[in-house]
Amino acid sequence: MERVSYRLESTWQADGGPNGRFTFTLFNLSDAPLAGFKIVYTSLTRVIDQKACENAIFLRRNANFHEFAPPAGLSIAPGKSWTFTVSGLHRPAKHCTDGAKSAYVTLDNGEHIDVAVSDLLLENRVSEPPPVLLPEGKLDLPFALQPWPAEIDAMPGDGFPVVLYPAAGSSADELRAMSTVTSLVRRLFESAHAPFNLQSSPQGRALSFKADPSIAAEGYKLTFAADEITLAYADAAGRQYGLTSLAQLLEGARSEPNTFRFPDAGTISDKPRYGWRGCHLDVSRQFYPAADIKRLIDILAWLKLNIFHWHLTDDEAWRLEIKAYPELTTTGILRGPDEPLLPQLGNGAEPVGGFYSQVDVREIVAHALALSVEVVPEIDIPGHNAATLVALPELNDGQEAPDSYHSVQGYPNNALNPAIPLTYEFLEKVLDEMVELFPSAYIHIGGDEVANGSWLASPLAKKLMEQEGISGTFALQSYFLKHIKDMLNARGRKLAGWNEVAHGGGVAAKDTLLMAWENPEVGIDLARQGYEVVMTPGQAYYLDMVQAEAFQEPGASWAGTVPPEHTYGYEAEGDFPEELKDKMKGVQACIWSEHFLSRGYFNRLVFPRLPAIAEAAWTPKAQKDWHRFAAIVPLSPKL
Ligand code: ACM
């Protein structure tokens, strides 16, 4: 391991600026003096008043990238440090992850050297430690099922069969389904015993399958007896979920026999509460290799979630290979000190990239399909396109004033321009390739967070608006999205998007599914306008949010504090009027990855809240039980 040469430490205090002040101290841990350098750090707490810094010179900022120079002539001797303060922040710091996520120094010769960073500490105030978030839990029935089934009337047995094997006469599809779930268990729990064996075994128990069209879509019924189990199902997903429940029961009884048992009498009759049981992952801000995506899909299948919403593009990178535009996944992914896309969100001196080839995508889609998970891809348009516009500069209106608008994340001029014919040609080609890769009924086109004022300084946009009698950013957004909806419909696909798709006149509600993320009320409003809705409110289902108010609890906090108990208990359809309930298609977890710098961080924030959402998506309200959930969730596999 290489020795760290420099370390940046930081504190925040509430006074010293409208949103407080950071104090940074750079330690020189190398053997040589550090002089003639600049320092860069990335931080989600941005500096918006450039003059408001002391003992340093602000040089530039792009979104989370901040560059400073030390005072002229500064030299830091080995073992010594330099302290500077930065106020003029765009919001106060609330948690230990609100400071610098990464840093590097650039020497006079152009060399970049990583600087280690420490967690943000509070200055002159107590930095509260994180609380315990999960109670010990309590089981009324000793079964390791998660999500908990709709109806269970089963008796715990003594011991458990070594394996379950298919009764004579099982079909090839039924054998394949057992094999698929066995492989899933072996991937998720590498040291676990396989739950199923295709060959009968004297210490095993026979599993007899029964196709039963009277069972609900995705539902199943298990009937237990001491010598045989019956699994009745109507479709492949229901059969898989029945097998998954058996595998969970066995795995629980085997791994924690003092707590969990396997039934030897009674029934489980199960079906999902909602048809859309989703999990989203932002792979733009941080890249997740294909193997991680497959493992996440495995976890979704284990939790009986059925939609993987793959957020493939954003300001920070375009991750999907498009053969017609190779620049998207060369220039459009590479963030580094000397690249057109600057380091962001934890990047340092080394350039970082990562994208999914079309071969990767086909494998991931097939992997998901085999586990009854549909992959819904998202390309986020027209906003959130800083990387696209760097990769394909011809998509810019060259006459638009630079910095004429900024996104909420601080990117200047980052929206695809609806007045440039090439924008549509580009998107036609992208969609042509996407529909070949993704068989999903819906393609998600984003539509979120276009900054008010976007395009108003673009002469091409102004001309189009005059011609079409359009006024304002959101009416122009609506004009653009209507075209996109037509493009999707022409390809036999339906439009999914974030709730702002409805702004400025929106698009036709028919065959449009919108995700209510800003708050729960937005979902009801969309349903009233005729849209189908999936509930993903940040206040309950954004898994990047902090789980407690304590300063030392990591995470984002713009949507508030989201403890696992709140995520579990939240009733997404709670305030929907009866007549609008059929518009509410389900619920979804969202994993925005700005803060997600490591696997450990991912697991800490995603679990147990992802299983909590899975149970909210599947289990009837009357069967939800936080303490039972808490007793079972430690068994959940993690990434
Ligand atoms: C979003 O969180 N911008 C959908």
CA separation for the pair 534, 576 (Å, rounded):
12
Q: Which atom of ligand 1 is nearest to the CA of 498?
A: 4
Q: Which domain holds residue 599?
A: 276-618
| Residues 287 and 210 grouped into a single domain | no
CATH number, residue 175: 3.30.379.10
Of all protein residues, the one whose alpha carbon is nearest to atom 1 of ligand 1 is 448
> What's the 538 CA to ligand 1 centre distance in angstroms?
8
Report pTM.
Answer: 0.98
CA separation for the pair 581, 236 (Å, rounded):
27
> What's the 203 CA to ligand 1 centre distance in angstroms?
52
Q: Which of 218, 298, 314, 315 is catalytic?
A: 314
> What's the 29 CA to ligand 1 centre distance in angstroms?
40
Domain count, the chain: 3
Closest by Cα among 308, 322, 314 to 431? 322
Cβ–ligand 1 distance for 448 under 6 Å, the answer: yes
| Residues 512 and 588 grouped into a single domain | yes
Cβ–ligand 1 distance for 541 under 6 Å, the answer: no
- Separation of first and last alpha carbons in the chain: 25
| Residues 231 and 253 grouped into a single domain | yes
Pocket test for ligand 1, best of 280, 501, 592, 593 (most atoms within 8 A of CB): 592
Q: Which atom of ligand 1 is nearest to the CA of 499?
A: 4
Closest by Cα among 409, 296, 412, 284 to 352? 284
Pocket test for ligand 1, best of 444, 517, 535 (most atoms within 8 A of CB): 517
> What's the 623 CA to ligand 1 centre distance in angstroms?
31
| Residues 514 and 479 grouped into a single domain | yes
Q: Is residue 133 part of a domain?
A: no
CB 420 within 8 A of CB 462: no
Mean pLDDT score, 410-414: 97
> What contacts 593, CB < 8 A, 6 or more positions away?
281, 282, 283, 284, 285, 286, 288, 544
Q: How far is CA 68 from the centre of its chain?
A: 32
CB 12 within 8 A of CB 120: yes
Which stretches within 438-472 are classed as H helix? Answer: 459-468
CB environment 442-464: b (16+ within 10 A), e (fewer): bbbbbbbbbbeebbbbbebbbeb
Name the strand (E) or helix (H) holding 58: strand 57-62
| Residues 256 and 290 grouped into a single domain | no
The 10s digit of each residue's pLDDT in 614-626 is: 999 999 999 999 9
Of 221, 255, 270, the one marking the end of a domain is 270
449 as an active site residue: the answer is: yes
pLDDT at 1: 63
The 10s digit of each residue's pLDDT in 555-580 is: 999 999 999 999 999 999 988 999 99
pLDDT at 2: 73
Cβ–ligand 1 distance for 315 under 6 Å, the answer: no
Q: Phi/psi class of residue 391: alpha, beta or left (left: φ > 0; alpha: ψ in -120 to 50)?
A: alpha
pLDDT at 51: 85
| Residues 43 and 167 grouped into a single domain | no
> What's the 498 CA to ligand 1 centre distance in angstroms?
7
| Sign of the alpha-carbon dihedral angle for 513, 286, 297, 586 | negative
pLDDT at 298: 98
DSSP letter assigned to residue 234: S
Cβ–ligand 1 distance for 288 under 6 Å, the answer: no
CA separation for the pair 521, 111 (Å, rounded):
51
384 as an active site residue: the answer is: yes
Mean pLDDT score, 38-57: 94
| Residues 519 and 374 grouped into a single domain | yes
At CA 135, angle to CA 130 and CA 141, rounded to 5?
160
The DSSP code sequence of 214-268 is TSPTT-EEEEE-SSEEEEEESSHHHHHHHHHHHHHHHHHHHH-TTT---EEEEEE
Q: What tokens appear for 120 in the block?
A: 């943000």
| Residues 541 and 499 grouped into a single domain | yes
CA separation for the pair 244, 614 (Å, rounded):
14
CB 551 within 8 A of CB 561: no
pLDDT at 128: 87
Average pLDDT, the chain: 97
CA separation for the pair 473, 470 (Å, rounded):
9
Q: Is residue 637 part of a domain?
A: no
Closest by Cα among 88, 120, 112 to 39? 112
Q: Which atom of ligand 1 is nearest to the CA of 446?
A: 4
Q: Which of 95, 384, 444, 595 is catalytic?
A: 384
CB 343 within 8 A of CB 102: yes
The 10s digit of each residue's pLDDT in 326-376 is: 999 999 999 999 999 999 999 999 999 999 999 999 999 999 999 999 999
The 10s digit of each residue's pLDDT in 484-534 is: 999 999 999 999 999 999 999 999 999 999 999 999 999 999 999 999 999
> What contacts 421, CB < 8 A, 6 or more positions away?
none
Cβ–ligand 1 distance for 532 under 6 Å, the answer: no
Q: What is the CA radius of gyration of the chain?
A: 26
How far, in Å, are 152, 234, 274, 601 from residue 218 at the CA level?
17, 7, 10, 33
Cβ–ligand 1 distance for 308 under 6 Å, the answer: no
| Residues 464 and 594 grouped into a single domain | yes
Cβ–ligand 1 distance for 480 under 6 Å, the answer: no
Closest by Cα among 168, 152, 167, 174 to 265? 152
pLDDT at 470: 97
> What's the 255 CA to ligand 1 centre distance in angstroms?
39
| Residues 185 and 47 grouped into a single domain | no
pLDDT at 226: 87
Of all protein residues, the one whose alpha carbon is nearest to atom 3 of ligand 1 is 448
123 versus 16: which is more confidently predicted?
A: 123
CA separation for the pair 67, 402 (Å, rounded):
20
Of all protein residues, the one whose alpha carbon is nearest to atom 2 of ligand 1 is 517
Cβ–ligand 1 distance for 542 under 6 Å, the answer: no
The 10s digit of each residue's pLDDT in 97-132 is: 999 999 999 999 999 999 999 999 999 898 888 999
Q: Which atom of ligand 1 is nearest to the CA of 384?
A: 3
CATH number, residue 58: 2.60.40.290
pLDDT at 232: 98
Of 246, 270, 294, the one marking the end of a domain is 270
pLDDT at 534: 98
The 10s digit of each residue's pLDDT in 461-487 is: 999 999 999 999 999 999 999 999 999
| Residues 286 and 370 grouped into a single domain | yes
CA separation for the pair 414, 237 (Å, rounded):
41
> What's the 515 CA to ligand 1 centre distance in angstroms?
9
Closest by Cα among 330, 290, 333 to 315? 333
Q: Is residue 137 part of a domain?
A: no
pLDDT at 617: 98
User: Would you place residue 244 in the very low, low, confident or very high pLDDT band (cuts 50, 70, 90)?
Assistant: very high
> What's the 446 CA to ligand 1 centre distance in angstroms?
8
Pocket test for ligand 1, best of 309, 498, 558 (most atoms within 8 A of CB): 498
Q: How far is CA 339 from the centre of its chain?
A: 26
Query: What is the identity of the amino acid at 259?
Result: T
> What's the 183 CA to ligand 1 centre distance in angstroms?
35
Of 220, 245, 270, the one marking the end of a domain is 270
Q: Is residue 366 part of a domain?
A: yes
**Burial classification of residue 421, based on how many CB atoms lie within 10 Å of its CB (0-12 exposed, 13-18 middle, 19 or more buried):** exposed
Q: What tokens appear for 391 in the block?
A: 């990769």
DSSP letter assigned to residue 503: G
Q: Which of 9, 270, 282, 449 is catalytic?
A: 449
| Residues 397 and 468 grouped into a single domain | yes
Q: Is residue 635 part of a domain?
A: no
> What's the 592 CA to ligand 1 centre distance in angstroms?
8
